[in-house]
Amino acid sequence: MTMATWPVAFILSAASSEAMRVPLVMLTIFAAAKLSAEVFERLGISGIVGEIAAGVLVGPSMLAWVAPNELTTSLADLGVMFLLFRVGLEVKPEELLKLGGAATLVAVCGVVVPMIMGWAILRLWGAPQIEAIFVGAAMVATSVGITAQVLAAKGLLQQKSSQIILAAAVIDDVLGLLVLASVSGMAKGQVNVWEIVLTAGLAIAFVVGIAFWGNRAMGKIVPRAQESLRVAEAEYALAVVLLFALSVLAVYIGVAAIVGAFFAGMALAGRVGERVNDLASGAAELLVPFFLVGIGLHVDLSAFQDRSMMLLAAVILVAAVVSKFIGCGVAALGMGKAEAIRIGVGMIPRGEVGMVVAQIGLGMGAISQNIYGVVVFMAVATTVLAPPLLKIAYKGVQGGVPEERYTLG
């Protein structure tokens, strides 16, 4: 180490740069997110889009202040888990189960239409069969985080269309798992039907089991724990343990961690006091900006220097929006045109799930780096488009109490 002329702090450079890292990353991302949200809100655009835009701004594509690293992605993971947990806290499982039939239809159509459209576009573009199938698969899974945040912020979680969206997104995640399993099998030249059936069974058992018995079980466990536990804030501690335990279980089964987090919230809905909601909000308010900024950080504008790639990206984006909108919307037409439009729009964002599928395809050599960039663009762009589209679709709908506890209006 050389002696710098400026303060002795430099003597400690090894230690202090390490000590600096965590608060500096936190400050940069959190402050950029909130500042940008404020600016976007004043421009009449959703603050959620503002936080994603902050990620593009400070990320590798533009200012390059922050690159996605282990800390930021971990905090983003935690952020979206707490977000879905909080949403789950306001959803009654019985009501969700009642909507199961309609939601299943929405989910299935919302899987089939995008899959076929994605595959067809890539085939027309001249891509090999397996690459076309992977892109189709990457267009399947709805990422419900953004939609949930928008609906919660507007106090619309109790709307029937909102509940259909939540239920369909969960079913969609299970279907997406099966699609991915099949596609991965194809890429390796062997589809193991028995395994896929087993996976489907496990995933369905997990989802239905917790939806049916989770809330009832917590109705018995929570009051007893309240009474007998001596650690302070025992209810919150119990809730956090359940949140992570079901997330781990969900990933083990093969569905997304956020599905587990959502079910943990649903299991505790109406079973824990308002204090748990407040404390979970404190964690969520800190962590959710990392999820939103993280989406922006993943944008890589350099992938689009090629004109034909730009064209393909635009076509795929339009297809991603239209296919979910039509697939889910048509399936929901029985509920009336306005509700069908809301549901169609709410299912549009793909977010991180599409990226994970593309990453697996990339790792298997089934898709090229350029096509990977196109899929990531599609995933981010559908996410950014969702908040303003939802605003239009829900225009005039009177929400419940707008939840002050959710960031961003």
Least distance from a copy of itself to the Cβ atom of residue 156, Å: 15
Scan for tokens 């798992």, then name that residue. 177
CA distance 297 to 219: 41
Q: How far is the CB of 408 from a copy of itself (least distance, A)?
A: 6
Name the minimum Å distance from CB 104 to a copy of itself: 21
- Shortest approach of a copy of itself to residue 98 CB, angstroms? 29
The residue (of 157 and 279) whose beta carbon lies closer to a copy of itself is: 279
Residue pair 154/90 in contact (Cβ under 8 Å)? The answer is: no
Q: For residues 77 and 339, which CB has a smaller minimum distance to a copy of itself in the complex?
A: 77
Q: How far is the CB of 331 from a copy of itself (least distance, A)?
A: 26
Asked if residues 254 and 202 have their Cβ atoms less than 8 Å apart, the reply is: yes
Residue reference for tokens 């709805």: 142
Least Cβ distance, residue 89 to a copy of itself (angstroms)? 13
Nearer to a copy of itself, 27 or 120 (CB): 27
Task: Pick between residue 146 and residue 181 the one whose CB is nearest to a copy of itself.
Answer: 181
Q: Which amino acid is at 380?
A: V
**Residue pair 167/99 in contact by the 8 Å Cβ criterion:** yes
Two tokens, residue 64? 């390059």
Measured from the CB atom, is 278 or 306 closer to a copy of itself? 278
* CB-nearer residue toward a copy of itself: 11 or 208: 11
Nearest-approach distance from CB 180 to a copy of itself, in angstroms: 7
Q: Which is nearer to a copy of itself, 69 or 95 (CB)?
A: 69
Instruction: Find the shortest distance in angstroms from Cβ 384 to a copy of itself.
Output: 18
Least Å distance, CB 120 to a copy of itself, is 25
SS3 content of the chain, % helix, strand, coil (to 5): 80, 0, 20
Q: Render 34-91 in DSSP notation, one character per residue.
A: HHHHHHHHHTTS-HHHHHHHHHHHHSTTTT-S----HHHHHHHHHHHHHHHHHHHTT-
- Tokens found for residue 164: 């259909």
Distance CA 34, CA 117 (A): 37
Question: Considering beta carbons, is residue 8 or 64 the nearer one to a copy of itself?
Answer: 8
Nearer to a copy of itself, 269 or 280 (CB): 280
Look up tokens 């707490």; give the residue: 82
- Closest by Cα among 78, 224, 87, 108 to 163: 87
Contacts of 31-36 with CB under 8 Å at 24 or more apart are: 32/57, 32/58, 32/293, 33/289, 33/292, 33/293, 34/289
Distance CA 262, CA 235 (A): 17
Nearest to 254 by CA among 206, 215, 211, 209: 206
